[in-house]
Structure 1
Amino acid sequence: MKRMGWFFLSNLALILLLVFAYHFTGADIHQSALGFFEVLVVVLFVSLLSAYFAFLFSRYKAKQSLESKMLNTPGNDVEGWLLATVAKQARLAGIPLPEVGIYDSADMNAYASGVSHSMISVSNGLLFFMPRAEAEAVLGHEICHLAYRDMPKLIAYQGVLNLGVFYLSVFSSYAVFALFLIQPDEILRFIAMLFAVLVFSVLSAALLMRFSRQLEFRADEGGAGLSQRPAMIAALERLNGERYTPLPEKMAVFGIKGSLASGVKRIFMSHPSLDERISLLKRHA
């Protein structure tokens, strides 16, 4: 659960607030088609809006926690190469030039973030310890996240999942008691709703992370197209052999490497394993 970070927790808080509002305002969405439609629209709007603000909050926390130095003009040859490479790839991908930043870490990593205003930030380690061709492939991967609008897709998908969690939680709390012919009091029904929220929120988190893993495969393929496929494969192999230092939990979903996990925890990984990604790139070569 930790790996879901702020993005998951903020959405869980939203669903809990919706359930509180539903319960204490006396809304009755299971008896009226009009009431159902009204609540559907309100919940969908609030779900999408909350997912959007959760994303913006994650972006702000990323800048704050990683302390990225945003580049306007290059201060040395490395920064010049970075700005020129991002500009070239953004042009090839047909997107506006994103903000470019560098954060202080010996770990080789990079992440992209943005909806209407995008940014790419890379670590010192990636710039100084990874060959230029491989670093260019990593940058291409991040550019493709922006070009494919993966962050808005995650927001929209999370919003729809929030809607599903809300309705499944409300209706299941009625269905379970009806199945066993129990007439619960309001407190018991409310507790049942909260329990259902927790269960369905975990399931929605697993679905969101599965969607995120599919986006990573697509960004790898795009990064190989913006650079060179052998360079993309070599970059992932280098990352696979590196001593691992993850991004902060709340930003793991946006990084090139993601998180390491095994067993059941793999269900909640934002990224596929590097071995899977390398294997798929080689099969499509």
Structure 2
Amino acid sequence: MKRMRWFFLSNLALILLLVVAYHFIGADIHQSALGFFEVLVAVLFISLFSAYFAFLFSRYKAKQSLESKMLNTPRNDVEGWLLATVAKQARQAGIPRPQVGIYDSADMNAYASGVSHSMISVSKGLLFFMPRAEAEAVLGHEICHLANMDMPKLIAYQGVLNVGVFYLSVLSSDVVFALFLISSGEILGLMAMLFAVLLFSVLTAALLMRFSRQLEFCADEGGAGLSQRRAMIAALERLSGERYAPLPEKMAVFGIKGSLASGVKRIFMSHPSLDERISLLRRHV
């Protein structure tokens, strides 16, 4: 979840900056339709750019934290199988072969990342402790994240949500002052908008995580298609029964397992539970 935390905090910082700039510049989006459209385009552009920047930054932090070693030429049979499997599945999915890396962890996990330059990194635990048929299904899951362009989808979705947060924050603070007939001073108005930003950002974070969970279901289905459905189910069952160790808070998004959660916290998780994913795959057998 650490990567998604960086992603969320980076976007929150930008929206706060936009609201502060809007407040002190004194722009009035209610003056005309043209003025509203201009501000909308500007906010959308900056929001998409910030979401993309936050994604790149979180990707760098995750890669740096996990210290993945990129493979160019295989040094043994295991690495040879890994490169060959990723290349085969990438051809089947119709995408260029991503970079392949291995990070040092006994935990069985893998993650995909990238927009223009994609990469897949797997743990040593997955390579050495998981049967190859199941490991192939896990790799197929990650390949499908790349083939479905899930990373650009999340970036675009976050950018659109940023626009909503900005306008809802500005408009809601104006409505509150109007309803209670309060004269909004400069400081009071700014504090009201910043509070609204924090409130709506939490709500949009829940929407973003729900969208991320739907992408996981799609990647499971795609991974089953690139390998074998039974192998995909078996891999998730193996992960469900494993002593849980989710990418030690380094990078949960687009990893195969995600993180454990219950109650309200589950709303803000990037992955659905493994039981849910297994049940859905079995339903489609």
TM-score by structure 2 length? 0.98
The letter of the residue matching 2:207 is L
User: Helix, strand or coil for the counterpart of 2:20?
Assistant: helix
Instruction: Tell me by how many angstroms 1:30 deviates.
Output: 2.2
* 1:49 counterpart residue number: 49
4+ long deviations beyond 6 Å: none
Instruction: Tell me by how many angstroms 1:248 deviates.
Output: 4.8
Distance 1:211 1:21 in 2: 30
Instruction: Tell me by how many angstroms 1:28 deviates.
Output: 1.0
User: Helix, strand or coil for the counterpart of 1:28?
Assistant: coil
Identity of aligned residues (%): 89
* 1:125 counterpart residue number: 125
The letter of the residue matching 1:243 is R
Distance 2:250 2:176 in 1: 35
Task: Report matched runs for 1:119-268 at 5 Å.
Answer: 119-249=119-249, 251-268=251-268
Instruction: Tell me by how many angstroms 1:2 deviates.
Output: 6.8
Distance 1:197 1:247 in 2: 30
* 2:23 counterpart residue number: 23
Instruction: Tell me by how many angstroms 1:235 deviates.
Output: 0.1
The letter of the residue matching 2:241 is G
Unaligned runs of 5+ in 2: none
Distance 1:30 1:202 in 2: 26
Unaligned runs of 5+ in 1: none
Instruction: Tell me by how many angstroms 1:186 deviates.
Output: 1.4
Contact 2:3 / 2:251 at 8 angstroms: preserved in 1?
no
* 2:62 counterpart residue number: 62
User: Helix, strand or coil for the counterpart of 2:247?
Assistant: coil
Distance 1:150 1:3 in 2: 15
Supply the RMSD in Å over aligned alpha carbons. 1.2
User: Helix, strand or coil for the counterpart of 2:120?
Assistant: strand
Matched, 1:76 2:76: yes
User: Helix, strand or coil for the counterpart of 2:252?
Assistant: helix
After superposition, the Cα gap between the structure-2 partners of 1:262 and 1:3, relative to the gap in structure 1 and judged at 3 Å, is farther
Deviation per CA, 1:43-89: give whole Å up to 9, x if none: 00000000001111111112100000000000100000000000000
Instruction: Tell me by how many angstroms 1:180 deviates.
Output: 1.5
Contact 2:210 / 2:270 at 8 angstroms: preserved in 1?
yes
* 1:13 counterpart residue number: 13
Deviation per CA, 1:255-274: give whole Å up to 9, x if none: 11111110000000000000
Distance 1:54 1:258 in 2: 20
Matched, 1:115 2:104: no
